[in-house]
Structure 1
Amino acid sequence: MCGIELPVGTIAVYNSSTKSVTCPVCLPQESSAVPRSQGSDVPVKVNDVENSLPELVLEQSEVFAGAAGASAQREYERRKDKRESRIREAHPRIGGLIIALSDDPQSTKAWATGAQGEERLGRQLDAVVQAGVHVLHDRRIPTTKANIDHLVVCPSGVFVIDAKKYEGQRPSLRIDGGWTRPRTETLIIGSRNGTKLVDGVHKQVDRVRTTLEASGLNDVPVSGMLCFVEADWPLFGGDFTIDGVSVLWPRKAASHIGRLGAIDAATAARVHHVLASSFPPA
């Protein structure tokens, strides 16, 4: 607003309605967060006030939450278009007929199914956003091809949520072993072993925890969830925990997010911004 060029890294406030950037010096005088020199109308230097503005800046700055299921939907469309192009090139005259009479392979349709599950869960998570609760969708894990479906910051900590759409199949916990041999836990989805999904959540949780620790947020709890959309859940109960990962459905996940905890609104805002900048939209 003042026309002064701000150096890279300067903390400032972005106003989305006017598409303007305000440096700390030009913030309204009524803001108690901006210290001014006594006996003078001249504000102190930008560098002197940056450290006193974290809560104000985090509160006003804008973070793109991401679009749930966007990257999975793009991958589905890419595979679908590639298949159709291949068929049309191989059969110029009847390619359109072949495409109309045949389905996409399961490996392609799985991406569309995944996108639908992420989008549905994303809508339900967005519905619980309030003061102290922040949601990020479809975030890319740097240096990898993987992504995190949903990140939720709330009073009880951070939840790393992996959405799965297994329509009509029931997740269950199978426990083997006991007195005479080691106890083992297995995630069963329908009749298949799905324990590798738990391992995937653990990897995501570790990346998030490491990121927060690097920013001095060691005390923020980080937990993992496997959220099954449109699964065959029983009328009563049905959720469980396997190796520290909660296995549940969307509404149950929302109830976890609504629990009280030790993370105040200012800390939640800081965590939100750290995660948003560390895990960009996929």
Structure 2
Amino acid sequence: MRLRYAGMCRLCGQVIAAGVEAIYERGTKTVRCLDCVPITTAPEPGTAGGSARREYERRRDNREQRIRTDHPKLGGLILALSDAPQSTKAWESGAVGEELMALRLADLPDTFRVLHDRRIPGTRANIDHIAVGPSGVWVIDAKRYVGKRPTLQVEGGLFRPRVESLRIGGRDGSKLVHGVQSQVERVAAALAEEPPHITGVLCFLEADWPLIGGSFAVEDVQVLWPRLLVKRMVEAPPRVLDIDSVHEHIARSFPSAA
């Protein structure tokens, strides 16, 4: 189409003057100059838990090397009789959680596109999973809290402002909620001024969920378990978006952390 207003090619950054022929991508409301060839193959989905597992292995190997260097004769015995610090084991647990989440997301119908372990440019953080489908964009943070119950704590009421917060096994989980909110904001910013509907999710694996109910939302972040998440993703009302275009744009904006 001929552009009514000047724009910038989302691929090469070239300024496209008003009246010039260009490709308008309705899904992301962006333009692409005719010189840029669109991607003909699907973006690399990434490896679930890849960056977390690498960090665990790095810490494990550094600990082993340090102990063997400090104790040449007894290093092997010390390693055999002692456990890695909790800060190291947490990375392994996180990697397993992301891997299990990826297996569950594989149950989604082929109308969905899923990306795993995506790097947030300019930071050391990553997004565990991003799914794009008929029901919109889903930003998913997988958490493996074995045997602990996520609950919604409500304070205030009639005479004080109502305040909701996440508790996990009795501990404050507000930091996790704020982390997902930040990820949703970054994905929205990457998808231009009017992004499609985006849902932030904290998905707890192997947690102590009750037999009936248990899921809830806190500060617009959904808190639930994998099977229910997939069900809601499939059954949620359809949104108007170009799935492939949005998927491609997100994949470019958040590269694989591998």
Please give the per-residue CA displacement for 1:128-156, whole angstroms capped at 9, x wherever unaligned: 1403x100000000000000000010112
For residues 58-69 of structure 1, what are the structure 2 equivalents within 5 Å? 60-69=40-49
- 2:187 maps to what in 1? 208
Does the residue aligned with 2:115 lie in a helix, a strand or coil? strand
Separation in structure 1 between the aligned mates of residue 233 and residue 192 of structure 2, nearest angstrom: 22
Are positions 1:72 and 2:49 aligned together?
no
* Rg larger in structure: 1
For 1:262 and 1:116, locate their aligned partners in 2 and report how far apart those are by CA, in whole Å.
32
Q: Deviations over 1:164-187 (max 9, x none)?
A: 000011100010001111111110
- Letter of the 1:245 counterpart: V
Q: Match for residue 107 of structure 1?
A: 87
> How far apart are residue 263 of structure 1 and its match?
3.1
Q: How many residues align?
A: 226
The alignment status of 1:224 with 2:200, answered yes or no, reads: yes
Aligned partner of residue 97 in structure 2, secondary structure: helix
- The structure 1 residue matched to 2:248, chosen from 249, 255, 273, is 273
Answer 1 or 2: higher relative contact order, Cα 8 Å, separation at least 6.
2
CA distance in 2 between partners of 1:221 and 1:254 (Å): 17
Q: Which residue of 2 aligns with 1:187?
A: 166
Residues 154 and 263, structure 1, Cα contact 8 Å, conserved in 2: no
TM-score of the superposition, structure 2-length normalised?
A: 0.84
* Partner SS for 1:238: coil
For residue 213 of structure 1, report the CA deviation from its aligned partner: 1.3
TM-superposed deviation, 1:161: 0.3
In the TM superposition, residue 237 of structure 1 has moved relative to its aligned partner by 1.1
Partner deviation per Cα, 1:7-53 (whole Å, 9 max, x = no partner)? xx69xxxxxxxxxxxxxxxxxxxxxxxxxxxxxxxxxxxx86x79x8
Q: Is the 8 A contact 2:151 2:166 kept in 1?
A: yes
Structure 2: unaligned runs, 5 residues or longer: 1-10, 13-32
Instruction: Kindly report structure 1 stretches of 4+ aligned residues shifted beyond 3 Å.
Output: none
Q: 2:207 & 2:44 partners in 1: Cα distance?
A: 30
SS at match of 2:157: coil
Instruction: List alignment gaps of at least 5 residues for structure 1.
Output: 1-8, 11-46
Match among 143, 159, 174 for residue 138 of structure 2: 159
